Structure 1
Amino acid sequence: MAEIIKLYEKNTSEKHLQKIAKVLKEGGVIIYPTDTVYGLGCDIKNNKALTKVARLKNVKLEKANFSFICEDLSNLSDYVSQIPTNTFKILKRNLPGPYTFILPGNNNLPNVFKKKKTVGIRVPDNNIARSIVKTLGNPIVSTSIYDEDDLVEYTTDPELIAEKWGDLVDLVIDGGYGDNMASTVIDLTKDEPELIRQGKGSAEI
């Protein structure tokens, strides 16, 4: 059964963050809060963990539409090709926030994602998520545990999340009740922004 770690947005425990980062570096999979629904995440650099997340979501890893959770926009160039100034302005204006922005990937993408040519970038407006990424030192690959067919409580209440997922993951980070609406997904790889999925964030960017 996964260990549950309680964290608070305004006062994230350094000791707990170090423990979470250690689990991630060792190939662990965690469930953690964001500014939308709870996410299922792992270290972007650990192939074994990436494969496990894909298996948990019932998708082939090379075809999975996972997001990269970043602390801020400073490391964008690690995985994203050079983007126009107006695109960067959109990112700066809306992040941190409840958005997944699809951007052109570069050659630094993990091998399993290189064929996709694009990457979904998230900078959640949630201090717990960003602190985990900061402590880890690189992005987390993430997918929501939200399921259209699920009872809402199972994706918003950390105790019920732990009950349902506890045997499948290594840690559940309890950051209080989550939201029941996923992020808004916007494609910024074309001349004009294209709304892919309407979620919590406004489509007016």
Structure 2
Amino acid sequence: MHEEIQMAVETLQKGGLIVYPTDTVWGIGCDATNSEAVKKVYALKNREDSKALICLVSDIRMLQKHIFEIPEVAYDIIDLSTKPTTIIYDKPHGIAPNLIAEDNTLAIRVASDEFCQKLIRQFKRPIVSTSANISGEPTPKSFLEIAPEILKGVDYVVNLHRDKRCEKPSSIIKLSTNGEVKIIRK
């Protein structure tokens, strides 16, 4: 695992894209603070840049560095969730501007997977996490279902957990600083 993390971190530091096993599905990742890298993800997925992407952090401390005000209920959701849960927060900062939605929000998940946590900790910055597919195509449930153009379009493919099968992406909850809570995806 150490060698794979090292290769992925080196790729991310150079502004490159990776395909990697997340705590949900196989994902395309890049440095979430690098606008040029984020542009490459949108281009590879053939996705409009008005459709926001999810970002992964390693822990609560990293989350606190990038969100102006975290609603108290977010801590309970993170602690009590029995499955990976992405939360959409208001007023992110220190993130690539083209990753932030038009309404000044950002979807962030504290990674629960050991590989993702170690990767992000070693990289020391949040990383993008979007399903490894062309926009509009089905989300691959396993490594073998990832389209060849995705694998050819990235700079590094992590060679771990290739037998991992994923049935569902994360739940998504929007928490506004005004107290509003909205379930986006169960």
Task: Return the TM-score normalized by structure 1.
Answer: 0.77
Gapped runs of 5+ residues in structure 2? none
Write the letter of the residue equivalent to 1:166: L
Per the alignment, residue 37 of structure 1 pairs with 25
CA–CA distance in structure 2, aligned partners of residues 179 and 90 of structure 1: 22
Residues 186 and 193 of structure 1 are in contact (CA less than 8 Å); yes or no, is this contact kept in structure 2?
yes
Say if 2:185 is the partner of 1:197: yes
**Which residue number in structure 1 is paired with residue 117 of structure 2?**
130
The secondary structure found in structure 2 opposite 1:156 is coil
Q: Is the 8 A contact 2:86 2:108 kept in 1?
A: yes
Which consecutive unaligned segments of at least 5 residues does structure 1 have?
Answer: 1-11, 199-205
Distance in 2 separating the partners of 1:132 and 1:162:
24
> Of 86, 89, 106, which aligns to 2:73?
86
Give 1:185's match in structure 2, choosing from 153, 157, 172: 172
Match of 1:169 among 149, 154, 163: 154
1:162–1:59 CA distance, 2 compared to 1 (3 A): closer
**Which residue matches 2:38?**
50
Match of 2:143 in 1: 158
For residue 92 of structure 1, report the CA deviation from its aligned partner: 2.7
Larger CA deviation: 26-35 vs 171-180: 171-180
Shift of 1:35: 2.3
Match of 1:102 in 2: 88
* 1:162, distance to aligned residue in structure 2 (A): 6.8
Residue identity in the other structure for 1:195:
I
Once residues 181 and 95 of structure 2 are traced to their aligned partners in structure 1, the CA distance between those partners, rounded to angstroms, is: 23
Residue deviations 1:93-136 (CA, integer Å, cap 9, x gap): 228x4111111123433232455411111123211122111111
RMSD, aligned CA: 2.3
> Which has the larger displacement, 74-83 or 18-27?
74-83
Q: What letter is aligned with 1:168? A: G
Kindly tell me the number of residue pairs found equivalent between the two proteins. Answer: 181
Q: Does 1:24 align with 2:24?
A: no
Runs of 4+ displaced beyond 4 Å: 146-149
TM-score (norm. length: structure 2):
0.84
In 1, are the aligned partners of 2:29 and 2:128 still within 8 Å (CA)?
yes
Report the structure number with the largest CA radius of gyration.
1
Partners of 1:116 and 1:66 lie apart in 2 by 13
Change (3 A) 1:158 1:84: closer
Aligned identity (percent) is 28
How far residue 75 of structure 1 moved from its aligned partner, in angstroms, is 1.3
